[in-house]
A and B are shown apart, each in its own frame.
Chain A
Amino acid sequence: MFLRISILFVTCLTTGLVHAQHDLDRLLPATTAAAFKINHAGQIVDDILAHPLVQAAEEAGAYKDALPEQQAAQLNAIKAQIKASIGVEWNQAIAQLTSKGIVLAYDPPTNGVSLIIQGEEETLTKVFDILYKTIEPIVALGGKSINKGLYRDTITGYQIDDLRFALYEGTFVMTNSRDLGRFTLDALLGEPPTNTLADNPTFQQATESTKPNDHSVWFWADSKLAAQTGGGDQLDESMKQNMLAELLFGGITNQLKHSQYTTATLDFNKEQLRFAFRTAHDQAWIPERRHYYFGADGKGEAPPLLQPKGTISSISMYRDLAPWYLLGPELYTPEVNERIAQADSQLSTFLGGKDFGEDILGALEPGFQIVVADTEFDEGAPVPDLKIPAFAMVANLRDPEVIKPELRRQFINFVGFLNLVSGMEGGKQLDIDIQSKDDNVILTTAFLKPQPNQPVSIEYNFTPTLIMTDELFILASTKALASNLQDPKVAKGSKANRSTINSQFQLYGAALKHILEKNKEFLITQNMLDKGSTREQATDEVTLILQATEILKMLEIKLEHTDSELTFTFDMSFKVE
């Protein structure tokens, strides 16, 4: 119930609805810099309410506190009034109200924001009356009143402070700007103006790339807006302060600064939620310092995604890590560079004088993968209560013959260093096993078994392993994962249609649920401690969370580019019975 009310609240108040006696794009001026459209709001609400994730959340009562009691009661009253007046349930009413669409737009010259809703005239009029009667006394309580006036002897306009709104033949308009409001009302009343948003060339370019009416939600912004508001510079600045953000998003923010437009779309149904963000792309815009992101020729390709047994998630990226690390002064702020220099000095000591950026990261070809998988334990090996997923980094070596002995030595040093530190604190020791054959190196480690009656601590999740065969480099937290990744069938990865993929991330719901299930006891404990609940209550709640996890089939995040466009997609698919 609360969830439904919340959705109504959010849908009605933060978006709006449209109707198309008049093309919405022709109700806004050409100077509009951003527009946010919702199509088929009724269908979206129906899909959300019927979605298994939402139903699982309703069962878990997770939404119960989403709205304060008083606001929930007010919304309930409005809902009841709507039903009494229109004779349909509130979600059906939304479908009628928004049958022609919703648009929320920003116009910089007037600094105006406008909400336009188009739907079935009769329903819209009834709902308008209900809301008007609800709002009027609230406004009066604040010592104000709603001013009324007739625009061009035809449309009744209303005003509360700077907020203006009107309803005319199935179109509801609300804005904070008189001029912007007039533009829309003139368009509704008379001959279509010629300088509308539909005539804006950047807008036309964006709509050619993504058809607004093909998506549940569509967003467009003129890049001039980002320049005016300083948004592009802010994004670039935030990249300079964070190495990881630069690694993940530096290339996107770079292109945003040059692109003429940005569009975003959201599509939702029971089986899928897909968000796509598009912007223009041109190889010429990529400065040398960001060649590490796209490659010098702009054709950098993420390696094939690896999916060993028990994969929970995989990340594959085209990145040349050595320049990302070594181009510090050009990419990062002086403060970040100072921290890099400190870390570099310590790493250099630890690596026996070797340079981390040049000698270690520089030994890897551009493009790397990180794989997270379920932990496997050898028969008879100690199994800890808390099971941490295994993880690995996979890359190709630039010059295998030269670098393999060096990395082998560094790994042995690393294990020795860990043993030394651990030994000083009375901790566990790693045993190391070295196999070398035909230039291939397999270095596996394992903690010595605990004494009888001693707990199997969290460390027993790890058997750090380094494998270097031919050009392949695998550094894994467990021997089992490293071995699985070495399997030629796995190491080959999926090669299909990769030429446009720069970065890719996949998360598998079933595998995630499996690892959470293994740690159910720990989750129950955390729930008891976080909420003070009994074991029974905690078990019920954790079970529901696990069931909700099972509904997720896959989450995929991808960055692709063609010669002219960069696309970032966020795609969730669900299991629907």
Chain B
Amino acid sequence: MKPYVDPQWAWAEFKPTESDPWNEHKVAHLFRRAGFGITGTELSNSIDAGLSETVQSLVHESGEPEEFQRDMQAMTRSLVASSDPANLSYGWLYRMLKSTDQLREKLTLFWHGHFATSAEKVADAFMMQQQNSMLRQHSLGNFHDLAQGISKDPAMLLYLDSATNRKTHPNENFARELMELFCLGEGNYTETDIRELSRCFTGWEVRNRAYRFNRYQHDFNEKSFLGASKAFSGEEAVTHVVAQKSAPKFIARKLVQYLVMDEPLADDELIEPLANQLEEDDFEVLGTIKRILLSNLFFSEHSYARKIKSPVEMVIGLMRSLDMNTKLPDLHRTLGEVGQAVFYPPNVKGWEGGRIWINSSTLLGRSNLIHSLLTTPNTTFGGEDISGLLASREVHTMQQALDHFETLLLAVPLGSRVKQQILSAQQTAPSDDSFSNLLHQLATLPQFQLS
């Protein structure tokens, strides 16, 4: 049975106290959810800065330096030139690792899963990159703009079969997903709504990798759906869908699920305040996200370790925390093996997440992934070996290493008995191998899978 949580308390701003202070545990929690793990520098800076300023910097001033953006543009051009969409994945993993705008990248990944489009079907690097750039641009912006953008996005139009969306034979795929998966959720529309809505998008085509409106194939007649009747254009139809009462609740619930807990106490009462804010903000999502990240609920037992790391979160988080670099094409391949190759979501529902991430096969796959990451000669730690990196952080013994990894990587502290067991299994002198073994052993623990 779900415990009751008072919505007013839940979304009120968390105020650190002496008994419940702003500490390393909370900083690491914030950076794991609002980004991909935490670096040593971010940890110490954020402790000094305090909660409010840290969230402020994540939300408002975390833009990437111009030089980095130029580098990423050059890299993107080069990757698109290769014509292979798989190459884009390597570029995105690089950006997740290196970007200072962690919240934007984290939300871009969220919207990528929300508006899932697979390069497997689209098979065009340029269109996939255009979509990715659009998602990044709007990731912390206005949901209505995002919905309008994705409706005309060439990759999405191809993915959901716009090529067959003709006036005489409307294709219902996009209309169905717009309501079910993108804006409203199941139970908030009827089959008739789908049929009528699909007529609004007839004639929305892709030509030369760009959106084109084919007026000869568009149905200009009146359509009736979601309680309104008129000669809706596609754009007006999207606006009408987003304006439904269920839309802000649907989006707010998904944000809570992504940032706070996999299996939320997400009854309507708890979500209501966020949905109201989203509506009041005219679907600007940033305010809602900030409220979530500052909330009592976010810094409570209802949130700590209540999410299972996705493979990307797990690996990029580990890599950022230990300043790791590796061969990203290999990493993309192994991430695919454990179920999350970016640009290649499994279906239009995206990655379901939560408990779905973990089963006996993926657990073994995750362990193997970490092992291969730690043992491949392509991996470096701050440009050196792991003992060199740890020495630079004043970590010299196995006990110190375990404590260091625990702070950076685990959502819940390990019990002293577990720690003792781990250390007794590592009775070798500190060395690259023993530190790697320790880290690998830690990565196989259930606690490591939790965010």
Residues of A within 8 A of B (CB): 65, 384-386, 425-426, 450-451, 453-455, 457-459, 521-522, 524-525, 528-535
A122 to B113, CA, bound (A): 75
A528 to B68, CA, bound (A): 13
Total A-B residue contacts, Cβ distance less than 8 Å:
74
Q: Which residues of A contact B97 (CB under 8 A)?
A: 532
Asked whether any CB of chain A lies closer than 8 Å to the CB of B83, the reply is yes
- Report yes or no: A532 in contact with B83, Cβ–Cβ below 8 A: no
| B72-109 contact mask (Cβ, 8 Å, vs A): 1 or 0 | 00110111111100000011001001100000000000
Q: Which residues of A contact B126 (CB under 8 A)?
A: 454-455, 457
A257 to B205, CA, bound (A): 65
Q: Which residues of B contact A528 (CB under 8 A)?
A: 71, 75, 94
B225 to chain A minimum Cβ distance, whole angstroms, is 30
- Report yes or no: B326 in contact with A525, Cβ–Cβ below 8 A: no
Residues of B within 8 A of A (CB): 71, 74-75, 77-83, 90-91, 94, 97-98, 123, 126, 206, 208-210, 324-329, 377-378, 380
Residue of A nearest to B123 (CB): A425
Contacting residue for A525 out of B79, B123, B206, B209, CB 8 A: B79
Residue of A nearest to B206 (CB): A426
8 cross-chain CB contacts under 8 A: A65-B377, A384-B81, A457-B126, A521-B74, A525-B74, A525-B91, A532-B324, A532-B380
Residue of A nearest to B327 (CB): A530
Q: Which residues of B contact A454 (CB under 8 A)?
A: 126, 208-210
- Report yes or no: A386 in contact with B82, Cβ–Cβ below 8 A: yes
Q: Which residues of B contact A529 (CB under 8 A)?
A: 75, 90-91, 94, 327-329
Residue of A nearest to B129 (CB): A455
- Report yes or no: A386 in contact with B377, Cβ–Cβ below 8 A: no
Q: Which residues of A contact B123 (CB under 8 A)?
A: 425
A459 to B79, CA, bound (A): 14
- Report yes or no: B94 in contact with A457, Cβ–Cβ below 8 A: no
A385 to B78, CA, bound (A): 7
Q: Which residues of B contact A458 (CB under 8 A)?
A: 81-83
B249 to chain A minimum Cβ distance, whole angstroms, is 38
- Report yes or no: A532 in contact with B94, Cβ–Cβ below 8 A: yes
- Report yes or no: A525 in contact with B78, Cβ–Cβ below 8 A: yes
A521 to B74, CA, bound (A): 8
Residue of A nearest to B74 (CB): A521
A541 to chain B minimum Cβ distance, whole angstroms, is 13
Q: Which residues of B contact A522 (CB under 8 A)?
A: 78, 81-82
B165 to chain A minimum Cβ distance, whole angstroms, is 15
Q: Which residues of A contact B83 (CB under 8 A)?
A: 457-459
- Report yes or no: A386 in contact with B81, Cβ–Cβ below 8 A: yes
Q: Which residues of A contact B209 (CB under 8 A)?
A: 454
Q: Which residues of A contact B98 (CB under 8 A)?
A: 532, 534
Residue of B nearest to A520 (CB): B78
Residue of A nearest to B80 (CB): A455
- Report yes or no: B325 in contact with A533, Cβ–Cβ below 8 A: yes
Residue of A nearest to B79 (CB): A525
* A385 and B81 in contact, given A532-B328, A535-B71 (Cβ under 8 angstroms): yes
> When A and B form their complex, which 7 residue pairs have the shortest distance between CB atoms, in order from nearest?
A532-B325, A385-B81, A525-B78, A386-B81, A535-B71, A451-B208, A529-B90
Q: Which residues of A contact B327 (CB under 8 A)?
A: 529-531
A551 to chain B minimum Cβ distance, whole angstroms, is 26
Given contacts A455-B77, A531-B325, A532-B380, 17 further A-B contacts (CB under 8 A): A65-B377, A384-B81, A385-B81, A450-B208, A454-B126, A455-B80, A455-B81, A521-B74, A522-B81, A525-B74, A525-B75, A525-B79, A530-B378, A532-B94, A532-B98, A532-B325, A535-B71
A386 to B80, CA, bound (A): 9
Q: Which residues of B contact A459 (CB under 8 A)?
A: 83
A521 to B75, CA, bound (A): 8
A335 to chain B minimum Cβ distance, whole angstroms, is 29
Q: Which residues of B contact A450 (CB under 8 A)?
A: 208
Q: Which residues of A contact B82 (CB under 8 A)?
A: 386, 458, 522
A521 to B76, CA, bound (A): 11
A385 to B377, CA, bound (A): 31
- Report yes or no: A457 in contact with B91, Cβ–Cβ below 8 A: no
A451 to B126, CA, bound (A): 13
Residue of A nearest to B97 (CB): A532
Residue of A nearest to B325 (CB): A532
Q: Which of A450, A524, A528, A530 has the most CB of B within 10 A?
A: A528
Residue of B nearest to A428 (CB): B208
A451 to B378, CA, bound (A): 41
B67 to chain A minimum Cβ distance, whole angstroms, is 8
Q: Which residues of A contact B380 (CB under 8 A)?
A: 531-532
A49 to B264, CA, bound (A): 66
Q: Which residues of A contact B71 (CB under 8 A)?
A: 528, 534-535
B306 to chain A minimum Cβ distance, whole angstroms, is 31
A417 to B65, CA, bound (A): 48
A312 to B388, CA, bound (A): 44
A534 to B72, CA, bound (A): 11
Q: Which residues of A contact B90 (CB under 8 A)?
A: 529
Residue of A nearest to B377 (CB): A65
A454 to B124, CA, bound (A): 12
B22 to chain A minimum Cβ distance, whole angstroms, is 32
A535 to B67, CA, bound (A): 10
Residue of B nearest to A519 (CB): B78
Q: Which residues of A contact B328 (CB under 8 A)?
A: 529-530, 532
